Amino acid sequence: MLHYIDLTKVWTLLEFDKYNPLGFSSSLFLFLFFGLLLLVTVINNNRAKVYILIAFSLYFFYKSSGTALYVLVISAVLNYGIGYLLYGAGRESLKKVYLWGGILANLGALGYYKYTNFFLETMSSFRGGTFEAIDIIMPLGISFFTFKALSYLFDIYYETYTPSKNFGDFFLYMVYFGNIAAGPIDRAPAFIEQIRENRITNEDISRGVFLIMSGLIKKNIIADYIGLNYVDRIFDDPLRYTGVENLIGVYGYALQIYCDFSGYTDMALGISLLLGFKLMENFNYPYKAKSVAEFWRRWHMSLSSWLLEYLFTPMQMGMRRMKMMGNALALLITFTICGLWHGPSWNFVIWGGLHGFFMVFGLITSKPRAALLAKLKLTDTKIAGFLKTIITFHFVAFAWIFFRAKDFKIIEDMYGQIVNFFKPGVFPQFIQSYQMITAMMVIGYLFHFLPEKVSESGYKLVEKSPLLVKSAMLAFMIWFAWQFMAADLQPFIYFQF
Partner 1 sequence: MISDKLKNAILKELKLDDFKIEDETKANQIPGWDSLNHINVITAIEKDYGLRFKAIEVLKCKNIGDLQKLVDSKQNK
Contacts to partner 1 by CB under 8 A: 158-160, 293, 308, 312-314, 316-318, 320, 323, 326-327, 363
User: What does the DSSP assignment read for 367-428?
Assistant: HHHHHHHHHTT-TT-HHHHHHHHHHHHHHHHHHHHHHH-SSHHHHHHHHHHHHH---TTHHH
Our CB check for partner 1 shows the closer of 103 and 137 to be 103
User: Where does 66-217 have alpha helices with state H?
Assistant: 69-88, 92-110, 116-127, 142-157, 167-175, 177-180, 188-197, 202-216
Nearest-approach distance from CB 412 to partner 1, in angstroms: 33
Our CB check for partner 1 shows the closer of 101 and 416 to be 101
Nearest-approach distance from CB 189 to partner 1, in angstroms: 11
Please choose, from the candidates 365, 394, 209, the residue with its C-alpha nearest in 3D space to the C-alpha of residue 290.
394
Please choose, from the candidates 72, 50, 49, the residue with its C-alpha nearest in 3D space to the C-alpha of residue 60.
72
Our CB check for partner 1 shows the closer of 319 and 378 to be 319
Q: What angle do CA 473, 474, 478 make, to 5 degrees?
A: 120
Nearest-approach distance from CB 332 to partner 1, in angstroms: 13
Contact 249, 241 (CB under 8 A): yes
* Cβ neighbour number for residue 37 with a 10 Å cutoff: 13
Nearest-approach distance from CB 193 to partner 1, in angstroms: 16
Nearest-approach distance from CB 321 to partner 1, in angstroms: 8
User: What does the DSSP assignment read for 325-352?
Assistant: HHHHHHHHHHHHHHHHHH-SSHHHHHHH
Nearest-approach distance from CB 375 to partner 1, in angstroms: 20
Question: Reduced to 3 states, what is the DSSP secondary structure of residue 231?
Answer: helix
Our CB check for partner 1 shows the closer of 9 and 323 to be 323
C-alpha distances out from residue 269 to 24, 274, 437, Å: 11, 9, 28
Please choose, from the candidates 275, 209, 263, the residue with its C-alpha nearest in 3D space to the C-alpha of residue 462.
209
Our CB check for partner 1 shows the closer of 127 and 323 to be 323
Our CB check for partner 1 shows the closer of 316 and 438 to be 316
End-to-end CA distance of the chain: 42
Our CB check for partner 1 shows the closer of 157 and 225 to be 157
Nearest-approach distance from CB 262 to partner 1, in angstroms: 23
Our CB check for partner 1 shows the closer of 88 and 314 to be 314
Our CB check for partner 1 shows the closer of 73 and 333 to be 333
- In whole angstroms, give the CA distance from residue 230 to residue 243: 14
Our CB check for partner 1 shows the closer of 146 and 305 to be 305
User: What does the DSSP assignment read for 417-482?
Assistant: HHHH---TTHHHHHHHHTHHHHHHHHHHHHHHHS-HHHHHHHHHHHHHS-HHHHHHHHHHHHHHHH
Q: What angle do CA 262, 348, 302 make, to 5 degrees?
A: 35
C-alpha distances out from residue 489 to 215, 219, 223, 484, Å: 15, 11, 11, 10
Nearest-approach distance from CB 320 to partner 1, in angstroms: 4
Our CB check for partner 1 shows the closer of 78 and 337 to be 337
Contact 332, 360 (CB under 8 A): yes
Our CB check for partner 1 shows the closer of 159 and 380 to be 159
